[in-house]
Structures are given as structure tokens and as C-alpha cells.
Amino acid sequence: MTYIAKATAVEQNSKPQRQRPSRADAEAAVRILLEWSGDDPDREGLIDTPARVVRAYEEFFEGYNTDPADLLARTFEETGDYDDLIVLRDMRLESHCEHHVVPIIGKVHVAYLPANRVVGISKLARVVEVYAKRLQIQETLTSQIADTIQDVLQPRGVAVVVEAAHMCMTTRGIKKPGVSMVTRRLLGAFQTDPELRRDFLATISNLGGGLL
């Protein structure tokens, strides 16, 4: 470990652990926001809103409670020598922008080229879900999904494409409804083999209704 790395580690360890606020603290914060917005948090329609918002946040951001790598730990080697593309397409994406805490809605396509072992397809969907249930920007989300699959499964290649609409752009600010953002991360063979890359992009385009 270099001196800089050691110094950084010491500095991080010396920082006091941030204590998670209580549920009561969170509800009080929501109440303040309601008041700041100009409404009366004591009126009938809003009196239970702070508690509802906190419960909703528990669902929206439950991804912080799971290590995505653990989801891919169990693999299967009885594949009948299958060595071609494995693609999950059109997975529903619901996340939240870390800049404005408003929804990001879209879909995710994930593919990998196995190397002697595969993983249950529901686990791939769970990896997407765990990262989506955190405050995000789409670029980071795309990289996190692909990098985790590559690091844990060690396949010959991984490809992830995300297409999503950002409510921070469509409902506020510049207000451009109907605009979607497409990001992709190609690793291993998908990066070096143009034919494989074309096959993957053609697959999600033809089957997914013309994404690309």
C-alpha cells in the first residue's frame, strides 16, 4: 500500500461514523418540507403524509440493504456446453435521480457470454433492481450493473443497455417530455468483437420493439 493510500485509509477510519437518523427524524424532515412548500401538514389530507413518505422511501431505496455481488454467488456448471449469448431484455427500471430525487423510468437489457458457468436469470434481474433502488445517475447505474456481473461471474463478456426517461428533465427545468436517454457498457468480447456486438444490439432492437 502506498503512502497516499495509507494516509487516505487512516483519514477515512478517523472520520466519525455517521449515525442514521431515526424514523421520527425522517418524518419531521418531511413535515418541514411540507410547511416550506406552503401547505399545512396538520390538515386532514397531509396529517399522515410524513409517515407515508418515509415508508415509500424504504421501498424506493431498499437497494442499500443488499450487496449485489452476493446475489451472483451461486452458479451452475451443468450447461450442456452452452457458450452463446444469454440476454435478458426489457427489464422494467424504476430508480431515482440523485440530483433531484425524482423518478427515472425505463428499461434495461443485460447480456453476458458465459465461461463454463451460468447464473439464475432472476439473479441478474435482482442485481439490476438492487442498484436501481439507490439514488443514481444513469451512467453510474449502467456501469455498476455491468461491472458487478463481470467481476463476480468472470464471463467472456458483458453488455448492458439502459433506456430511460428522467422526470427531472421531463417535468421540471427544461421540461422536455418524450425524451429518453440511452447508455451502454460493453466489456470483454462485446468490446473487442464487432460481430458479437452487432448481434447483441440487433437482438434487443428486433425483439424490444426498435430500441436502437
> Residue 158: CB partners within 8 Å, gap ≥ 6?
110, 111, 112, 113, 146, 149, 150, 185, 186, 187, 188, 190
How far is the first Cα of the chain from the last one, in angstroms, to the nearest whole number? Answer: 44
The answer to whether residues 85 and 188 touch, using CB atoms and an 8 Å cutoff, is no
Residue 198: count other Cβ atoms within 10 Å of its Cβ: 10
Name the residues annotated as catalytic.
Answer: 97-100, 138, 166, 168
What's the rounded Cα separation, in Å, for the pair 111 and 158?
6
Place of cell 397531509: 46
Kindly give the pairing relationship between strand 86-97 and strand 135-136: parallel
Q: At 30, is the secondary structure helix, strand, or coil? A: helix
User: Taking the C-alpha atoms of 110, 116, 120 and 124 in order, what is their torsion angle to the nearest 10 degrees?
Assistant: -30
